[in-house]
Amino acid sequence: VSAFLLNRSSDLERSVKSCIALGYQHWQQHLSDTFRGTFMYLLFSAVMFTSALISALMRAPKWLSIILLAVSLFDISRKVRRLSGEKETGKLGKKQIMSNLGYYLSFVCLSSVLRLCVICVISAPLLLLLYMYWLNYETMKAGDPSSLTTTYWVLIGLTAFDTSVAVRFIGTWTAYAELYVYGTMIARQQARKQAKAASLAS
């Protein structure tokens, strides 16, 4: 029996907030396994994101930066589901989204807000470096020479890389939370089918 469907009664009553909390707890309990299982994906994503940012700051063709950024944002939730052993829950849950659309959209909105807050906090050093770049750009428009040194480019590259790894890794908790959402939707669907079958039988 799926770990996300062990207690059917609690699944039926589970709110979006409780799914997110349970997903976070599950993520905390499996930090090392999740990191080891997604390390190569995180590394590749961070390299692509850093390359996209540096190429944009150095005025490379826009299409190159866009492609690199798009590649860096590839979805790793499937890998996380494989790590949890709940691929089947993910497949079944996706089939239930339309019949539980309001519930699922509530999860997407709330988890997105939480992720945005986390990203803003983690990205503060990178945003500060980007602000320095903007100030330098403004002074250059006024006719002054660039004050950015090699140290700046090394620092922003390392910061962008570290920020990307941290943001993507912390974001994996939503994949676990989504599994609880899927489990809840599946349990509700099963309960509806059983109620319908019972009414027909009577």
pLDDT at site 6: 46
CA-based radius of gyration for the chain: 22
pLDDT digits over 131-169, tens only? 999 999 888 888 888 888 889 999 999 999 999 999 999
Position with higher pLDDT, 187 vs 169: 169
Mean per-residue pLDDT, 17-27: 89
- Token pair belonging to 28: 């905390």
Per-residue pLDDT at 79 exceeds 50: yes
Per-residue pLDDT at 178 exceeds 70: yes
Question: 44, 197 in Cβ contact below 8 A?
Answer: no
pLDDT at site 106: 92
The pTM for the full model equals 0.81
pLDDT at site 9: 44
